[in-house]
Structure 1
Amino acid sequence: MSSSILFRVRPILFSVLMLGAGHNLFFVLLPVRLKQSGVDESMIGFAMSLFAVGNILAGLWASRIVIRVGHVRAFVTTSATLSSIAIAHSYLDDVWVTALLRLLAGFCLYASLIILESWLSVLCDRRTRGRIFGLSQICFSLGFGTAPLFLNVAGGYDVRIFGIVSVLLSFALVAMSMTRLPAPEIPASACVMSLRRLWACSPEGMITGFCAGLVGAASISLVSLYAFEKGLVGIWLAIVLGSYQLGVLVTQLPSGWLADRFDKGAVAIGLMLLGMLGNALIVLDAYYSLPQIALVALFILSGGAGAALFPLAVTQVFDRIGAGEALPATATLKVLLGVGGILGPLIAGFLMHRYGVVALYCFIVAVHAAALLLLLVRSYRSIRRETGLQPQLRDRRHGGGPSLSGLQSGADS
């Protein structure tokens, strides 16, 4: 990968880093703020869940903003709104107002990411797309993972940290406002890409993207319950809670490198196998206790396998569409991610209530296995279709098939 492409996309990568940091600080601060205000856990969960609803709405409607004002102004609008929401949270602690702001924040954050990812896609080609999107995911994860360090700067859960969130989001806004990058082609239609069209372009990308939503949301939302049940403390607890994002640092660049050189469907199959193995061993730990360091390594491995899925899904789709379809395709993938983000915690939470906390990782194994089966079926059908066409083409080259003159004479008779 040449340094020129990295130099060109650095404003986008920097903005993704800032968005990741601001995103995590919202999740860290708001539940504690509401709890200190006397709000019960069920209402806190309701308020926080509206973020995923905003994600889906962004997938459906973000392209309308881009068509109306263009990519730069659309990004400035959504980032500035996020920055304003951060300041509003420092003054408002009513649970219903917080829920409304989480809905708006979910829309603005995902709209910003949709704009940046579609922009990133048209600046890359097939040879570099996997690694560039891998770097983008690493930047988001670095921002997400290092954001809690600001708690030490402020001396704990201080409302002034919302001001830091606003500053970080403003940095992203400034970086993209001053960029000289060519803006992507504005789509002719504000509609998201239909699921049928997305399936026709890349069924593998669609399967991988939905799996990423199911696995990612369940892991991030419910891993703390598993860690609490296991009695993890100290540094081991911190690593396990951040394992989904820490795993990105282990798996993202290798998977992006492989995706740029080999079939992306095969890379997706490999990630599914890795996720199945890692999570199955976590389930095994519930019955045959593993050393704590080995358990933490498994969390990082399984988290990395899940976190690498969505960037791979995006590259699978973008390899098979035109530049004008980048924004609608990204929007539809975000909708799939959001739907998976709602269903994953709901299903996993129900299973954990019925069968215990280890059911979370049984669910994740089952999701990986189902996606793996679908990918293998698609791969098998693709191979059969290609091998079925080869004899026909060979016959035509060697005169084995019927000639046009023969068909014509047969028709005349």
Structure 2
Amino acid sequence: MRLLVISLLALFLSLALLISGNAFLATLLGLRFGLMGVDAGTIGLVMVGYSIGFVIGARYGGIVIRRVGHIRAFAVYAAVAAVATLVYPMTDEVWVWWLLRVIGGITIAALFVTIESWFSAVASNANRGTIFAMYQVVTYLAAAGGQLLIALTNPESFVPLSLAAILLVAAIIPLSLSHMHSPELSEPKDHLSLLKMYRMVPLGVVGAFVSGVFIGSFYALVPLFASLTGLNTDEVSLYMFAAVMAAMVFAWPIGWLCDRFQRSHILLALSVLGSIACLANDWLAEDAFVWRVIAIAVCMGLSAAIYPVAVAITNDLMDATQIIAASTGLLLSYSLGAVVGPLVFSFVMAEQGPSALFLGLAVALLLMAFYTLLRQQRRPPIPVAEQEDFVSAIPDVNPIPDIDPRNEAFVETPIEELFKDSSDTET
């Protein structure tokens, strides 16, 4: 038991360092490029490289892990991510920045695959619900904490980039000190194409896509919007922190509602209210800072909940053994949205000004609302009594469907197998 607790602490610490460094870097780059005078269209083009890389890393990152083992692969990916981070101040070439974001997406996705395979190995039927919940909390807190780091340094200097690189490399340390054996990383057996998933659960797939449009645009362009509309570096830090914390706070009451009302109705309400909150961010762009913080917190809190509701709607119509395949499909749909959103809205901002960002996001959420109404007419929602239990899901990282409490295909590994002969641990 003592080794299990120590290993869990090591896993959560590595996860926190990785997510805080990655979230800090995403906001920092959007703000830094804006302060450098880079136009919004170029910033959007550069930032979508991360989403493209993330899809590649989530799909193929396991190849290196299988060849050299978890710890070596984790060290390699973290080192490459840190090196890519340190290259930004060395060049002004946009194509190099884009390539660095692609590399960052690949390495971060592969690092999540490594950590989460360890979580899956540690989980048992008795504790996987608790581990899953703790994973959600640590993810949100680390992402929010990463936003606060923006205020500590000058975004235009090399220091914050060095700090982001330090956090990414530091994530190696706790995991490397764990006494647990490297778990098996098997190829996923089930696969559902995005087209097949759309035919089965169109509302879930479209909801994941729109969520990707919103959250991808949020991390890529909201720091730029905040800077262009008069917020200084300290205020941008608090602005982003409030938004991420709101996503965590809103998750619980929305989850409670999802277990008591039809989920398509919840998705409709989130889309309509989220669009109103987007418009409020535009209307309050010249108001007092406190009102702007409240507006972005409500906007992010409502809109970030669209993805877990889409996941819940999908799982209501899927067999429990299909959760892993369905989660992969929804992540792909989300990632496509995270590519399209920043690309479209960055060029709209370049042509129409910063206010066009939240106007565009409001339109996207309204379209989601109209599509939800259309699907409700074509296919009546599942009765509340037949819905699966709601489980929150975070699209910003590669989810862990292996330990999703609803996954009946979960295979428990005897704990003694994970720590047998700890002197044999991987080096």
Same fold (TM over 0.5): yes
Output the CA distance in 2 between the equivalents of 1:210 and 1:182: 37
Larger Rg: 1
Task: Give 2:413's aligned residue.
Answer: none
Output the CA distance in 2 between the equivalents of 1:337 and 1:255: 20
Q: How does 1:33-182 map to 2 (within 5 A)?
A: 43-89=42-88, 91-117=90-116, 119-120=118-119, 123=123, 127-128=129-130, 131-151=133-153, 157-181=156-180
Taking structure 2 as the reference length, the TM-score comes to 0.68
1:23 shift after superposition: 1.9
Pair 69,287 (structure 1): closer, same or farther in 2 beyond 3 Å: closer
Task: Give 2:22's aligned residue.
Answer: 23
In structure 1, give the amino acid aligned to 2:360: L
Task: Give 1:276's aligned residue.
Answer: 272
What SS class does the counterpart of residue 380 from structure 2 fall into? helix
Of residues 328, 338, 341 in structure 2, which corresponds to 1:341?
A: 338
Q: 1:63·1:190 contact (CA, 8 Å) conserved in 2?
A: no
Q: 1:201·1:320 contact (CA, 8 Å) conserved in 2?
A: no
In structure 1, give the amino acid aligned to 2:334: L
Of residues 282, 298, 320 in structure 1, which corresponds to 2:295?
A: 298
1:121 shift after superposition: 5.2
**Gap regions ≥5 residues in structure 2:** 388-427
Q: 1:118·1:330 contact (CA, 8 Å) conserved in 2?
A: no
Pair 119,367 (structure 1): closer, same or farther in 2 beyond 3 Å: farther
Task: Give 1:246's aligned residue.
Answer: 245
Task: Give 1:395's aligned residue.
Answer: none
Number of aligned residue pairs:
377
What SS class does the counterpart of residue 13 from structure 2 fall into? helix
Of residues 304, 308, 311 in structure 2, which corresponds to 1:307?
A: 304
Output the CA distance in 1 between the equivalents of 2:309 and 2:73: 25
Q: 1:85·1:105 contact (CA, 8 Å) conserved in 2?
A: yes
Output the CA distance in 1 between the equivalents of 2:134 and 2:102: 30
CA deviations 1:345-366 (Å, max 9, x no partner) are: 2344466546952523422432
1:129 shift after superposition: 6.5
Task: Give 1:410's aligned residue.
Answer: none
2:208 matches 1:217 = no
Higher helix share: 1
Taking structure 1 as the reference length, the TM-score comes to 0.69
1:340 shift after superposition: 0.8
1:300 shift after superposition: 0.3
The percentage of counterpart residues that share the same residue type is 22
**Gap regions ≥5 residues in structure 1:** 388-413
Task: Give 1:365's aligned residue.
Answer: 365
Output the CA distance in 1 between the equivalents of 2:375 and 2:8: 32
Task: Give 2:406's aligned residue.
Answer: none
CA deviations 1:12-70 (Å, max 9, x no partner) are: 33223212232244345556777898976655543333222212222332243344445
1:239 shift after superposition: 4.0
Q: 1:79·1:173 contact (CA, 8 Å) conserved in 2?
A: yes
Output the CA distance in 2 between the equivalents of 1:313 and 1:177: 36
1:339 shift after superposition: 0.9
- Indicate the larger mover: 200-209 or 242-251: 200-209
Q: 1:52·1:341 contact (CA, 8 Å) conserved in 2?
A: yes
In structure 1, give the amino acid aligned to 2:74: F
What SS class does the counterpart of residue 171 from structure 2 fall into? helix
Output the CA distance in 1 between the equivalents of 2:10 and 2:65: 19
Output the CA distance in 2 between the equivalents of 1:5 and 1:374: 49
- Indicate the larger mover: 314-323 or 233-242: 314-323
1:305 shift after superposition: 2.5
Pair 322,112 (structure 1): closer, same or farther in 2 beyond 3 Å: farther
Pair 177,46 (structure 1): closer, same or farther in 2 beyond 3 Å: same
Output the CA distance in 1 between the equivalents of 2:200 and 2:41: 41
- Indicate the larger mover: 56-65 or 313-322: 313-322
Pair 230,29 (structure 1): closer, same or farther in 2 beyond 3 Å: closer
Q: 1:110·1:334 contact (CA, 8 Å) conserved in 2?
A: no
Output the CA distance in 2 between the equivalents of 1:64 and 1:198: 26
Pair 101,194 (structure 1): closer, same or farther in 2 beyond 3 Å: same
Output the CA distance in 2 between the equivalents of 1:106 and 1:246: 23
Output the CA distance in 2 between the equivalents of 1:193 and 1:79: 30
Output the CA distance in 1 between the equivalents of 2:156 and 2:92: 14
Q: 2:17·2:171 contact (CA, 8 Å) conserved in 1?
A: yes
Output the CA distance in 2 between the equivalents of 1:257 and 1:7: 32
Pair 256,128 (structure 1): closer, same or farther in 2 beyond 3 Å: farther
What SS class does the counterpart of residue 50 from structure 2 fall into? helix
Output the CA distance in 2 between the equivalents of 1:300 and 1:310: 17
Q: 1:252·1:304 contact (CA, 8 Å) conserved in 2?
A: yes
CA RMSD of the aligned region, Å? 4.7
Q: 2:44·2:221 contact (CA, 8 Å) conserved in 1?
A: no
Task: Give 2:12's aligned residue.
Answer: 13
In structure 2, give the amino acid aligned to 1:276: V
Output the CA distance in 1 between the equivalents of 2:174 and 2:311: 24
